[in-house]
Amino acid sequence: GAGVSQSPRYKVAKRGQDVALRCDPISGHVSLFWYQQALGQGPEFLTYFQNEAQLDKSGLPSDRFFAERPEGSVSTLKIQRTQQEDSAVYLCASSPQVYYGYTFGSGTRLTVV
Amino acid sequence: QKEVEQNSGPLSVPEGAIASLNCTYSDRGSQSFFWYRQYSGKSPELIMSIYSNGDKEDGRFTAQLNKASQYVSLLIRDSQPSDSATYLCAVNIDYGGSQGNLIFGKGTKLSVKP
């Protein structure tokens, strides 16, 4: 597609609920990244895929967070048993190669109540 | 801990002036440097990349890199009210297993007054 597409745009979850956030990167972009951005802060790295391989998941804050990209295109970030501190904007970005700048999607704003 | 530091601002400049945004980074192994612009409620948008020491110009924007001082800056000439946004500095940290990970600063909020 023309850009990075993320869905849903907004998600309200009750504490303890599981959520799944979807990212559809730019066609042909091999690198895909997930970031978490709290209000007034810069994006914080969560995880990185090169095609279907998850090369770095060091930024995932706990084992409640899980990401996958099984066919090397669409990716899903799953958060189990959501907690209030998970409330943030989750940004997906893709890049044609490493060391290139990213193109970000519009993000998913998650609010846990 | 790999760090990217920016003044949070706000930085206020009059319309038509030069806005100067600064960023320092901690990892001497960093290879790629980027500036993103983020309007309120929107996602970051790449505006400049720089990979070697010196200046790189693109329209009203100039990125400057000094690897010896671990310093990167962004100059915006003839600032316009539409330039009012948060500017994020991002640095590629290459530590073997993950070569694509960008570390972002917290951003500098720029306000251009008409």
When CB atoms are compared, the residue of B42, B100, B106 closest to A31 is B100
- Determine the pLDDT at residue B93: 72
Instruction: Give the span between the Cα atoms of B72 and B114, in whole angstroms.
Output: 27
Residues on chain B touching A75 (C-beta within 8 angstroms): none
- Determine the pLDDT at residue B2: 72
pLDDT tens string A19-78: 999 999 999 999 999 999 999 899 999 999 999 999 989 999 999 999 999 999 999 999
Residues on chain B touching A35 (C-beta within 8 angstroms): 104
pLDDT tens string B16-28: 999 999 999 998 8
Residues on chain A touching B95 (C-beta within 8 angstroms): none
Report the half-sphere exposure of B105 (CA within 13 A, side-chain side). 30
Question: A10, A102, A106: which to substitute to probe chain B, counting the most B Cβ within 10 Å?
Answer: A102
When CB atoms are compared, the residue of B49, B97, B105 closest to A55 is B97
With a cut of 50, list the residues of chain B below it in pLDDT.
Answer: 96-98
